Amino acid sequence: MRLKLQYTCGKTYGLMGSGSLLYPRNEAALHNASIVFSTTKPIPLSQAIQQTWQAISNSEMEVYVRWGFHVSWHWEIKLFHRCSGIEFIAFVLYCQLHKCFSFTATRDSCFRCSFSSAGLRSSTTDLGDGTVMHVWIPKLHVQSKPTLVLIHGFGANAMWQWNDFISPLISRFNVYVPDLLFFGESYTTRPERSEQFQAECVVRVMEAHGVVSGMNVVGISYGGFVGYRMAAQFKERIEKVVLCCTGVCLEEKDMEEGMFKVKSVDEAVSILLPQTPDKMRELMKLSFYKPTQRVPSCFLNDFIHVMCTEYLQERKDLILALHKDRKLSDLSKITQPTLIIWGEHDQIFPLELGHRLKRHLGDNAELVIIKNAGHAINAEKPKELFKHLKCFLIDPLSRAKPGN
What digits encode the pLDDT tens for the residues 327-355? Answer: 999 999 999 999 999 999 999 999 999 99
Sheet strands (E) in 31-105: 35-38, 63-68, 74-79
Report the candidate in 160, 172, 192, 60 with the shortest Cα–Cα distance to residue 396: 172
What's the CA gap between 7 and 122, in Å, rounded?
Answer: 23
Residue 91: in which H helix or E strand, if any?
helix 85-97
Give mean pLDDT, residues 260-287: 94
More confident residue, 394 or 282: 282
One-letter identity of residue 159:
M
How far is the first Cα of the chain from the last one, in angstroms, to the nearest whole number? 70
- Given pLDDT bands bounded at 50, 70 and 90, which one contains residue 294? confident
Lowest mean pLDDT, pick from 117-131, 185-199, 286-300: 286-300
Contact 9, 40 (CB under 8 A): yes
pLDDT band for position 295 (cuts 50, 70, 90): confident
The answer on pLDDT for 99 being more than 90 is: no
* pTM score: 0.77
Encode 367-389: b = buried (16+ Cβ within 10 Å), e = exposed. Answer: bbebeebbbbbbbbbbebbbebb
Whole-angstrom Cα distance, residue 220 to residue 341? 9
d(C-alpha 36, C-alpha 49), whole Å:
15
Is a pLDDT exceeding 60 seen at residue 76? no
Beta-carbon count within 10 A of 314 CB: 15
Q: Are 334 and 354 in contact (CB under 8 A)?
A: no
| DSSP E strand boundaries for 39-186 | 63-68, 74-79, 120-126, 131-138, 147-151, 174-178
Q: Is the predicted pLDDT of residue 262 greater than 80, yes or no? A: yes
Report yes or no: 12 and 24 within 8 Å, Cβ to Cβ.
yes
Task: Count the neighbouring beta carbons within 10 Å of the beta carbon of residue 55.
Answer: 17
How many Cβ atoms from other residues are within 10 Å of residue 250's Cβ? 24
pLDDT in the model for residue 397: 63
Q: What is d(CA 197, CA 230) in angstroms, rounded to the nearest whole number? A: 10
pLDDT tens digits for range 222-231: 999 999 999 9
Measuring CA to CA, which residue among 319, 292, 69, 53 is closest to residue 183? 319
- Measured between alpha carbons, how far is 102 from 16 in angstroms, rounded to an integer? 23
Is it the case that residue 154 has pLDDT exceeding 50?
yes
Q: Is the distance from CB of 319 to CB of 269 less than 8 angstroms? A: yes
Does residue 55 register a pLDDT over 80? no
Q: Which is more confidently placed, 97 or 106? A: 106
298 to 7, 59, 97, 235, 349: CA distances (angstroms):
20, 33, 10, 46, 29
Q: How far is CA 201 from CA 137, 206, 226, in A?
A: 15, 9, 10
3-state secondary structure of 400: helix
For the cut 80, the answer to whether the pLDDT of residue 292 exceeds it is: yes
96 vs 92: CA distance, rounded Å: 6
Question: What's the whole-number mean pLDDT along residues 251-261?
Answer: 91
Please report, as a single letter, which amino acid is at residue 289. Y
Nearest to 136 by CA among 199, 179, 197: 179
pLDDT band for position 119 (cuts 50, 70, 90): very high
